[in-house]
Amino acid sequence: MTVFAAEQQFHDAEASLPSHQARLACRAGLAQTTAGVAPGYIQGNLAILPETYAAAFHRFCQLNPKPCPIIGMSDVGDPMIPSLGTDLDIRTDLPRYRVWRDGELVEEPTDITAHWRDDLVAFVIGCSFSFEEALLADDIPIRHIEQKVRVPMYRTNISCAAAGPFAGPMVVSMRPLKPKDAIRAVQITSRFPSVHGAPVHLGLPQSIGIADIDKPDYGDPVRIEPDEVPVFWACGVTPQAVIAAAKVPFAITHAPGLMLVTDLKNKHLAVL
Amino acid sequence: MTVFAAEQQFHDAEASLPSHQARLACRAGLAQTTAGVAPGYIQGNLAILPETYAAAFHRFCQLNPKPCPIIGMSDVGDPMIPSLGTDLDIRTDLPRYRVWRDGELVEEPTDITAHWRDDLVAFVIGCSFSFEEALLADDIPIRHIEQKVRVPMYRTNISCAAAGPFAGPMVVSMRPLKPKDAIRAVQITSRFPSVHGAPVHLGLPQSIGIADIDKPDYGDPVRIEPDEVPVFWACGVTPQAVIAAAKVPFAITHAPGLMLVTDLKNKHLAVL
């Protein structure tokens, strides 16, 4: 490396946002959870579909904004999403992907350049990391973070509104909270509709079809204290479950917990 | 009555707000609940204390804004509160009063002109009728209204912050709601901090010292369905309970449910 090149690299690193650096690390092959990466920056769920399915999926998201709040989209066939970040290449900038064929998970690569096609459309969907940051900033403890496990998620009996082949139950994430924190959490997350917004349920898991709170359908179980109520938010795993159930010939999503890190800031999502 | 006097009376009635007409009816002797009277207008709880206790009580309200949100006050010895309504005379314009001596209820007159003194200060405190109107306007059903009974109220183990002789537990009112309506109710009532604001608790009555939800300390029990959670708001009965417990030599309050009707509008209380 010449002195000039080394200086230029140093200069680039200086200028680059932590979110951009995180994406560059993923591009270089880093494949681990993005929880805690680039604090303050919005992370997103990913869904990539062929154009023939994209319109129906877009309509599904429009109809179901709580589980599927779209925060960014690519043009057809274009892997760059400049509205979400500098130099953001959706084919390389996530830690790990899931490739689906006819509803079956067939591969979990760290790069989808080989899978990219001219007819693909990428959807980036808001993620609970954003509102968890707002809860923690308000001194509301989050159990799965304390226990260092994944948030527990459940399929419910709440039906999403269907669009074309996309239909199915809403998946929710659960955080146990003291009632006064639950009330405060409703207030705080109501300010963030683009990252799932207010809870969809609290207190009575059976009412939304959850038979055993200790057996989540995704993620890990967490402890619920006797003076806590379970609080449920619509979850970004919903679109992934719906895409799998629709058995579309081809789709790509992110691997759960290994999200897209954008250059947008969580605090800018607050509507008031 | 001369033709002129009849015309004048007609003209006055035309000009007068429904809230003013309600106060004039009380002044003329009407002594029944103000629930449903002058829809849209703010009603208030009343507490009248001698000046020697008023400063401490004012401080108590300042320290406990959820149970004791002050919406109006009189000058010392002045029974008129023009900021709350045209021609509003606090001695005559409520349907029924309670007169307290040394913490004992001694009389329930419909007029307190004979009790008025130059050292009295009147406090008008926000009331749940205002936020109930906002809940009903959002199609959230309210059980005690459906059952045509008084709202159930409970003494809790939540201590109010003390000020001078004024101290004691917070009294809360309870409305059973479906979880999604409870979440919506948190959002709606958060907009109305001057009439008790967001709930203080939900879901776990035992946690706040309520041993038997079917045995309220004030008001009437209501039915709670299996798919509902009890939601608790700070209650304007709190100051009345605190004044009684303080055993001040002399105080006057309203009779529960028979409130002061003001000329201010509920909708103007919304903070956003």
A271 contact B CB<8A: no
**Residue A166 DSSP label:** B
Minimal-distance CA residue of chain A relative to B187: A187
- The beta-carbon neighbor of B180 closest among A180, A201, A229 is A201
Helix (H, G, I), strand (E, B) or coil at B241: helix
B204 contact A CB<8A: yes
Q: Which residues of B touch A179 (CB under 8 A)?
A: 201-204, 207
Q: What is the distance in angstroms between the Cα of B261 and the nearest Cα belonging to chain A? A: 30
Minimal-distance CA residue of chain B relative to A272: B272
Q: What is the pLDDT of residue B272?
A: 87
Per-domain residue ranges of chain B: 46-267
Element (H, E) at A24: helix A18-27
- The beta-carbon neighbor of B227 closest among A186, A190, A204 is A204
* Binary contact (B198, A182; C-beta < 8 A): no
CATH number belonging to domain B46-267: 3.30.2040.10
- The torsion region of residue B38 among left (phi > 0), alpha (psi -120 to 50) and beta comes to left
d(CA B85, CA B44): 12
User: Could you give the dihedral angle defined by the CA atoms of residues B218, B223, B226 and B232, in that order, rounded to the nearest 10 degrees?
Assistant: -30
d(CA B101, CA A34): 66
Per-run averaged pLDDT (10 residues), chain B, 272 residues: 50 75 97 94 97 97 96 97 97 98 97 98 96 96 96 97 97 98 98 96 98 97 98 96 96 95 95 89
User: Could you give the dihedral angle defined by the CA atoms of residues B238, B244, B250 and B253, in that order, rounded to the nearest 10 degrees?
Assistant: 40
d(CA B127, CA B189): 12
Q: What is the distance in angstroms between the Cα of A200 and the nearest Cα belonging to chain B? A: 6
Structure tokens at B165: 């002789």
Fold of A129-238: PSTPO5379-like fold (3.30.2040)
For an interface test with A, the pick among B177, B181, B186, B190 (most A C-beta atoms closer than 10 Å) comes out as B186
Residue count of chain B, please give it.
272
Intrachain domains A33-127+246-269 and A129-238 with the same fold: no
d(CA B152, CA B219): 5
* Binary contact (A187, B182; C-beta < 8 A): no
Measured at the CA of B64, the angle between CA B58 and CA B70, to 5 degrees, comes to 50
Measured at the CA of B45, the angle between CA B132 and CA B129, to 5 degrees, comes to 10
Residue count of chain A, please give it.
272
Q: What is the pLDDT of residue A8?
A: 52
* Binary contact (A201, B183; C-beta < 8 A): yes
Q: What is the distance in angstroms between the Cα of A178 and the nearest Cα belonging to chain B? A: 9
Structure tokens at B46: 């009343």
- The beta-carbon neighbor of A186 closest among B186, B203, B227 is B186
Residue numbers in chain A where pLDDT is lower than 50:
1, 3, 6
Identify residue A147 by its one-letter amino acid code: Q
* Binary contact (B203, A272; C-beta < 8 A): no
Structure tokens at B186: 């948190």
Q: What is the distance in angstroms between the Cα of A56 and the nearest Cα belonging to chain B? A: 28
Helix (H, G, I), strand (E, B) or coil at A135: helix
For A182, other C-beta atoms within 10 Å of its C-beta total 27
Q: What is the pLDDT of residue A13?
A: 55
B103 contact A CB<8A: no
Q: What is the pLDDT of residue A171?
A: 97
Q: How far is CA B84 from CA A175, B49, B251, in A?
A: 44, 19, 21
Neighbouring-strand partners of residue B98: B253
Q: Quick check: A72 and A124 in contact, CB under 8 A?
A: yes
Q: Which residues of A touch B193 (CB under 8 A)?
A: none
Helix (H, G, I), strand (E, B) or coil at A104: strand
- For residue B104, give every residue at least 6 positions away whose Cβ sits within 8 Å of its Cβ, in sequence order, or none: none
ipTM of the complex: 0.86
Element (H, E) at B145: helix B143-146
- What is the residue-wise DSSP string for A174-185? EEEE-HHHHHHH
CATH number belonging to domain A33-127+246-269: 3.40.1640.10
Q: What is the pLDDT of residue A81?
A: 97
d(CA B29, CA B24): 9
Residue of B137, B152, B46, B31 whose CA lies nearest to B90: B46
